[in-house]
Structures are given as C-alpha cells and as structure tokens.
C-alpha cells in the first residue's frame, strides 16, 4: 500500500504531512489492523515502588463520586484535582498471591513479591521470578499491531533479580525495562530512522527498506536451515520466538516500514525534544539519581507518542526498584537517604540503622511527586484528540504501587489510581471500595476479599482480550491464588 492510499484510507483525516516528514514519519503506512475504524484501547502501567505514606494517600472524604474535597491540598492526590472526572480510586485491594508468608509456595521477599506478583497474579519461583505472563504482555500479544511486544520502559536502576521486572513474557521470563531513552527512542523509530537517529533523507528509491528486505530474506533462509534440524523443545521455543520477531520486521517492511498514525492526534515530538532524548545519555549516566525526573519525562513523552501513533497499545513504566530508588533532591525535596531507606524510616537498608526524623513527611512528598508525574502523563495523553474522545479516554492508565505501607512491607490496600475509561467502559470520577472492609490495613489477613488479580481480569476484559475459549477472560493470574471474576463495580 502506498502512502497516498494509506492517507485516503484514514477516512479523510488529514495528517500534517510536512510535520510528520520532518521527523522521518514520511514512510508510514498502516498495518491491516489499524485500518479498522474503531479506535484501539490502550493500557499503561505507571509503577511506583517502596510503598507509600498511607496516612496521607487516600482521601478523607468518603466513597462515591469524586469531589474537590477528595483532593484536599494536604493530601497526596491533590495534584490530580483537575483530572478527577477521569479517575477511579480503587480502594482496599490486596496483592495476590499474598505477602507476609500468607500464601504458600511463592518465593522471594515482600519487595520481590510486590513487584513480581503485581502484573502476573502468579507466584514466584526459586529464582524469585514470577511463574506467569504479565497482563501487559498478555494484552500486547492479542491486541498490538502484529502482536508486537509491549513497550516496557524504566527509570533509574531496574532489573537484576526478582525486584527487577514487572513485565513477564511468560513463566520465569522477566523482561528488562529499558532505562535509556535514547535506546527506547531508537526502538520506537526503528522502522523509520537510520541508526544515528536522524531522519533518513527521502531518496528516490527507498534503499534502506530494500536492503533490509534483502537481509531479512537471507536471515529467514538461515532460520529455516536450523528449524529443519532436530531441536529440543526449549531450543524450538527460543528459535520460534526469535523467528517471529524477524517475520514481524518483514511484515512491517511490506507495509512500507511503518508505524501509522491513527488520527490527526499522532503529533510527533518536536525536533528539540527529539534532540534531547537522543542526547539523554551523553556525558551522564541515565541511572543517576539526578536524572530521575528528566528521564522519567522523556519516557512518558515516548509512551504517549507510541500509543498515539499505535506503535503499541500497551506500555509499562517502572520507576526504580523495590528495596532501592533514588535519593530525592529536587522539586523542593533535599533528602539524605534514598527512597527505600526512608520507606523504613531508617538511615540504612539493613534494618539496623538509626531512625530518620520526619521520614513520614518525606515519604508524603515523594508520593506527591509521583502523583505530579502521573498527572504529567495524563496531561500528555489528554492532549491527543482521537475524534471520539482523547487518547486518555481510550486508555486505562493505572498508577499502582509495589506495596502499601512500605515500613511494614504491607500487601494490603495497595495504592491504585486508574485514569481513563477504555472508551467508556470503566466508571469515571469515583472512589470505590473493592472490599467489604472499610480499611484493609486493619483487616485480619485470612478475611481479605479483594485480590488484585480481579482488577487484572477486569482490565483484560475492558481492553477486549479473550480467554483461550474465545470468551471474556475469566481469571487472570495463577489458578491457585486470588479469585476468578472481575471487580464489576468498576464497570459502567
């Protein structure tokens, strides 16, 4: 399909072509899936670690419709005041499998559980890796153009052992988040940009695509050469997974090498921002504390762009690691100890340190800072008009934490805020209790009744994912933990 036909195929929506071309979007063409009329739904996980100051997190105002009183100036969620009509505050969920040793046969410490269980609903194995696929990967397989892997980005130091990954390709297959925006951008633009990241001049012949096709032809032949040999099951799986990604590259090239804008909303980043992202690691270590905010915003800009342009419909952003995190020294904070130490109110990570005076306020400031960054992401998504609403309206943007009370490593009453309705399917502007209890932090653990995997199931279904039988997803996560069914109270 050539470009002109593609543009016509968009139902008359006019793309600001010069602008796109200036950023190398010139060779875009749509995939088949994208030619569908319906605007896709998207799912973003905004993942915070080390728990929160729970005394300030939830509103003091009661359950029900959100009002300005729910976002009082001295509460963590105050920065979301203007987004309140797009929000769902999801209260009193607990992580399943449970922490504190209450669920058997899951490995790791409470940090590792808090991360590994979160998007998988599955227990950890002996290497402290989750024994199941995560929701983002599950959804991407079904919903992404060509089943492309979801975008998995991180900020600061993530990766390495069980506290490293929220995203799992499958049981025992953690996915390492990309913490370098330059590389993430290269991946995002991989189909349209030369390796230096500068837009390719439009040649008379598209030599790059032709070359890549020739190379892929040969690579595919070499693959076939190995595939005909007698392979173990494990080898076969590995080879197939790799081969599929090669096939995907071929398919994309056949479409012209392209990520297609869905609508006029797919506005590329401006050149100055692109230059900043491409220089993200020039002379600095992207994992340094001082880069935390800068890198985070670059990653969020790219997530918004990737969703708007339908490069992916699913993305995760992991801010730091459990049992780690930066020392906050910006936006009015000037802490001496890093996030994890403060989460325990201590001056070291080993639980033998001295108490840090005023740590609760420091945690509150950190939580509020994350809330502000979450609001930044929502603003970005809101800025993309998709005709039937904004990109935010067509998304589920979940801000969720590894733990609730970090000091106790608590897995009950996990802080969870959702923005967007997946195209009108989730309620908006509501503060809702998932449990029979008023405060799960006071509940006796065996009595807990709101396992978080029900939220995962709910999201899977509002996103339009299917179970193996073709019907709605009945129970996301491991069958031995959590519960079947959705939190129906979240649905419209």
Partner 1 sequence: MPAKSAKTSALRLAFTVALALPSVSGCQGVVESPLGPGGSGSKPGAVDGDGLSNTPGTDGFLGGQLDALACENRELHPGSMPGLVRLTHRQYQNAVTDLFGVESKAASEFVSDQEFYGFDNNAEKLSVDSVQTLRYRAMAEKVAAEATSNLAPLAKVVPCVSSQRNDGCRDSFLSGLLQLMFRRPLSDAELTRYRTLFAAGTTLYEEGDAFTRGLRVVIEAALQTPTFLYRAELRDTPLDGKVVQLDAYELAARLALTFWSSLPDATLMAKAESKKLGDPVELELEVRRLLDDPRASRVLDEFHAQWLEFGKLRFDKDASAFPGYDKAAFEQAARAEALTFARNMTLKESGTIADLFTSPVTWVDATLAQNYGVQAGAGVTRVELDPSQRAGLFTQTAFLAGHADALEGSPIHRGAYVQRRVLCREFGTLPPNVGTVPPASPGAATTRARVAQKTAAAACQYCHKHINPTGFAFESFDSLGRFRTQDHGEPVDATGALELDQGVPSSFSGGVQFAAELASSDKATRCYETQWFRFAYGRAEGHDDACLLREIDNKAKAKSYNLKELLVALGTSRAFRFRAQEDL
CB of 4 to partner 1, least distance (A): 25
**445-484: contacts with partner 1 (CB under 8 A):** 477-480
112 touches partner 1 (CB under 8 A): yes
Distance CA 420, CA 88 (A): 8
CB of 56 to partner 1, least distance (A): 19
Show Cβ contacts of residue 270 under 8 Å, excluding neighbours closer than 6 positions: none
CB closer to partner 1 out of 72 and 226: 226
Give how far Cα 332 sits from Cα of 328, 329, 362, Å: 9, 7, 11
Distance CA 311, CA 260 (A): 8
CB of 196 to partner 1, least distance (A): 8
CB of 154 to partner 1, least distance (A): 11
Distance CA 333, CA 365 (A): 7
CB of 337 to partner 1, least distance (A): 9
CB of 145 to partner 1, least distance (A): 12
Please give the torsion angle defined by the CA atoms of residues 181, 186, 189 and 195, in that order, rounded to the nearest 10 degrees: 150
CB closer to partner 1 out of 105 and 489: 105
**199-228: contacts with partner 1 (CB under 8 A):** 203, 207, 210-212, 214-215, 217-219, 221-223, 225-226
3-state secondary structure of 155: strand
**140-179: contacts with partner 1 (CB under 8 A):** 148-149, 159-162, 164-165, 169-176, 178
Distance CA 96, CA 411 (A): 8
**238-267: contacts with partner 1 (CB under 8 A):** 238-239, 241-242, 245-246, 248-249
Instruction: Give the residue, chosen from 76, 92, 95, 128, that forms a contact with partner 1 under the rule CB under 8 A.
Output: 128
CB closer to partner 1 out of 454 and 478: 478
Instruction: State the alpha helices, DSSP H only, in 131-278.
Output: 135-143, 181-188, 207-227, 233-254, 271-278
Instruction: Give the residue, chosen from 135, 295, 304, 323, that forms a contact with partner 1 under the rule CB under 8 A.
Output: 323
CB of 440 to partner 1, least distance (A): 16
CB closer to partner 1 out of 263 and 323: 323
Distance CA 133, CA 122 (A): 8
DSSP state of 405: B
Helix axes 135-143, 453-462, angle to 10 degrees: 10
Distance CA 34, CA 32 (A): 5
**9-48: contacts with partner 1 (CB under 8 A):** none
User: What string marks each residue from 404 to 423 as x (binds partner 1 by CB under 8 A) or -?
Assistant: ---xxx--------------
- Residue 469 has phi, psi (to 5 degrees) of -85, 5
3-state secondary structure of 397: strand
Size of the chain in residues: 492
3-state secondary structure of 292: helix
CB closer to partner 1 out of 349 and 360: 349
Instruction: Give the residue, chosen from 18, 233, 332, 444, that forms a contact with partner 1 under the rule CB under 8 A.
Output: 233
230 touches partner 1 (CB under 8 A): yes
Counting Cα atoms < 13 Å in the Cβ hemisphere of 6 gives 23
Instruction: Give the residue, chosen from 100, 284, 438, 466, that forms a contact with partner 1 under the rule CB under 8 A.
Output: 100
**329-368: contacts with partner 1 (CB under 8 A):** 340, 344, 346-353, 355
């Amino acid at each position: 399909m050539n470009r002109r036909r593609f543009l016509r195929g968009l139902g008359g929506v006019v793309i600001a072509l010069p602008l796109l071309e200036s950023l190398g979007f010139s060779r875009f063409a749509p995939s088949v899936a994208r030619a569908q009329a319906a605007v896709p739904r998207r799912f973003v996980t905004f993942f915070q670690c080390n728990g929160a100051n729970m005394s300030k997190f939830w509103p003091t105002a009661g359950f029900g419709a959100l009002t300005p009183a729910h976002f009082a100036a001295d509460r963590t969620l105050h920065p979301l005041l203007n987004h309140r009509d797009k929000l769902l505050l999801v209260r009193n969920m607990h992580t399943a499998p449970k922490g504190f040793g209450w669920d058997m046969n899951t490995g790791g410490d409470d940090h590792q559980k808090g991360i590994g269980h979160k998007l998988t609903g599955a227990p950890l194995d002996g290497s402290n890796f989750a024994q199941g696929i995560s929701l983002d990967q599950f959804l991407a397989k079904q919903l992404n153009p060509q089943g492309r892997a979801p975008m998995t980005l991180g900020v600061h130091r993530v990766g390495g052992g069980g506290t490293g990954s929220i995203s799992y390709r499958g049981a025992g297959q953690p996915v390492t988040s990309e913490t370098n925006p330059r590389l993430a951008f290269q991946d995002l633009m991989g189909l349209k940009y030369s390796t230096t990241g500068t837009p390719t001049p439009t040649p008379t012949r598209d030599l790059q695509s032709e070359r890549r096709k020739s190379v892929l032809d040969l690579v595919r032949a070499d693959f076939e050469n190995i595939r005909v040999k007698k392979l173990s099951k494990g080898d076969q799986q590995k080879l197939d997974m790799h081969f599929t990604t090669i096939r995907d590259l071929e398919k994309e090239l056949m479409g012209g090498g392209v990520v297609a804008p869905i609508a006029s909303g797919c506005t590329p980043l401006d050149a100055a921002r692109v230059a900043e992202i491409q220089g993200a690691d020039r002379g600095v270590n992207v994992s340094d504390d001082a880069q935390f905010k800068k890198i985070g915003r670059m990653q969020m800009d790219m997530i918004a762009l990737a969703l708007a342009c339908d490069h992916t419909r699913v993305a995760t952003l992991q801010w730091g690691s459990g049992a780690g995190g930066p020392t906050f020294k910006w936006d009015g904070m000037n802490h001496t100890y890093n996030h994890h130490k403060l989460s325990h109110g201590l001056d070291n990570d080993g639980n033998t340190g001295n108490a840090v005076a005023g740590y609760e306020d420091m945690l509150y400031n950190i939580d509020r800072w994350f809330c502000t960054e979450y609001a930044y992401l929502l603003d970005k998504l809101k800025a993309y008009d998709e005709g039937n609403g904004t990109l935010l309206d067509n998304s589920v943007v979940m801000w969720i934490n590894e733990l609730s009370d970090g000091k106790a490593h608590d897995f009950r009453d996990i802080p969870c805020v959702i923005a967007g309705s997946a195209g009108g399917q989730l309620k908006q502007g509501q503060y809702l209790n998932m449990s029979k209890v008023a405060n799960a932090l006071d509940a006796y653990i065996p009595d807990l009744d709101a396992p978080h995997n029900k939220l995962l199931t709910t999201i899977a279904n509002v996103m339009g994912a299917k179970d193996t039988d073709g019907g709605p997803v009945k129970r996301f996560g491991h069958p031995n933990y959590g519960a079947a069914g959705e939190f129906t109270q979240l649905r419209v």
